[in-house]
Amino acid sequence: MEDNSSRVDSILRKLRQTGLRITPQRLAILKALSENKEHPGAGEIYAAVKAEFPTTSIATVYKTLAVMKTIGEVLELEFSNDYNRYDGNTPGAHPHLICVKCRRIVDPELASLDEMTEKLASETGYTIISHRLDFYGVCPECRQKE
Amino acid sequence: MEDNSSRVDSILRKLRQTGLRITPQRLAILKALSENKEHPGAGEIYAAVKAEFPTTSIATVYKTLAVMKTIGEVLELEFSNDYNRYDGNTPGAHPHLICVKCRRIVDPELASLDEMTEKLASETGYTIISHRLDFYGVCPECRQKE
DNA sequence: CTTCCTGCAAACAATTTGCAGACAG
DNA sequence: CTGTCTGCAAATTGTTTGCAGGAAG
């Protein structure tokens, strides 16, 4: 896995390549994203950024996240009830394990998904672009508290 | 697969069991749901219901859908951009195949998911309650139009 | 310099809620 | 009868947008 700084660096490289500007706000947002492995929401990223860059606005956070999505460097996990969560560390599609009690989201190891995808494509004739696989459950910590 | 009327009947049975009331509005919503296999949104259900029951309100549709979710007879597919979609025919968790062009959603056949779930549970210590598996792609019809 | 970015506030849209009257059981 | 359900309208909330000024390159 890439460490924080190399992750930020590779995103910066991609921004330059694409002709997008590197502003202090964007840097702070990227730093906050790469330091938080917990799939934060826009509000959490905003809070972290504002701590050291108080003039930042939530709109800028959203706009920056939108740009990152577009260039494929951030994965957005949509929820219609809860707020959306963002993953800046592993931008490719991968399974998530969501605790329904504490709402923590972790990235489990899981093979055999590629195989499943190929089979689906050949059986249905669809061109598969991406996927979303979320498991909902109760994490060991929350179960203990019951 | 159950046909429409037996599907509605089994939901009605569940409603009675749970002491919930059967109103004309609820009947119309259930009928609209069971007749539409295309994972409609609340607005589409509302339109269908209003066609033969013009006084119905969208709030009632949402409230009824919430009840159906609670008793486990309707599966809600959440989206934060697009509106949520509802599946009244196959209320248990199952994979979906979503065309990113026409936004149609179909239910593909797919085994080997139970196996995957068990493995995940034993490896992480989580109690798995449910899951969500969405594949995003382009359906054969849309690909042809490109 | 020029264009893109920021930050504020207002706009949005799907969904939810409060409440008074209606009606299922 | 009684408690639940309906329907209206207003509220909610995360996210998006318009626009004037600011700054990256």
A–B CB contacts, 8 A cutoff, strictly below: 106
Question: Does A72 touch chain B if contact means CB atoms closer than 8 Å?
Answer: no
- Chain A residues 88-107 with a CB less than 8 Å from chain B: 97, 99-100, 106
Nucleotide C4: nearest residue by CA–C1'?
A: A21
How far apart are the two ends of chain B, measured CA to CA in Å?
Answer: 35
Question: Residue B4's pLDDT is what?
Answer: 78
Q: Which residue of A has its CA nearest to B137?
A: A128
Percent of chain A scoring above 90 in pLDDT: 78
Please list every residue in chain B whose beta carbon sits closer than 8 Å to the beta carbon of residue A113. Answer: 116
Q: Is the CB of A66 under 7 A from strand D?
A: yes
Q: Do B108 and A117 touch (CB under 8 A)?
A: no
Indicate if the pLDDT at residue A1 is higher than 60: no
Q: Is residue A128 less than 8 Å (CB to CB) from chain B? A: yes
User: Long-range contacts made by residues B63-72, C-beta under 8 angstroms, separation at least 24?
Assistant: B64/B25, B64/B26, B64/B29, B65/B29, B67/B20, B68/B11, B68/B30, B68/B33, B71/B14, B71/B15, B71/B18, B71/B20
Interchain CB contact of B145 with A (< 8 Å): no
A134 contact residues in B (CB cutoff 8 A): 131-133
Q: For position A7, what pLDDT does the model report? A: 93
Q: What is the mean pLDDT of residues B19-46?
A: 97
Instruction: Name the pairing type of β-strands A127-138 and A96-99.
Output: parallel
pTM of the predicted protein model? 0.90
Q: Would an 8 Å CB–CB cutoff place A1 in contact with chain B?
A: no
CA distance B136 to chain A (A): 5
Q: Give per-residue pLDDT as tens, B85-107.
A: 999 999 889 999 999 888 899 99
Cα B40 to Cα A97: distance, rounded to the nearest angstrom? 27
Q: What is the pLDDT of residue A100?
A: 87
Whole-number Å distance between alpha carbons of A90 and A74: 8
Q: How far is the CA of A58 from the C1' of D15 (A)?
A: 10
pLDDT of residue A110: 81
B139 in contact with chain A, both atoms CB, cutoff 8 A = yes
Q: Single out the residue of B136, B78, B127, B79 nearest to residue A97, CA to CA.
A: B127
Check residue B136 and give its pLDDT.
Answer: 93
Stronger pLDDT, A30 or A114, i.e. the higher one: A30
Does residue A46 surpass a pLDDT of 70? yes
Residue A113 has pLDDT above 90, yes or no: no
Average pLDDT over residues A59-81: 97
* Cα–Cα distance for residue pair B24/B139, rounded to 1 Å: 37
Give pLDDT, residue B145: 73
Subset of residues 75-134 in chain B with CB less than 7 angstroms from any atom in strand C: 83-84
Banded pLDDT at B112 (limits 50, 70, 90) = confident
CB-CB under 8 Å, B130 with A117: no
Query: What crossing angle do the helices spanning A24-35 and A42-52 adopt, rounded to 10°?
Result: 120
Contact A128, B96 (CB under 8 A): no
Instruction: Give mean pLDDT, residues B60-75.
Output: 97
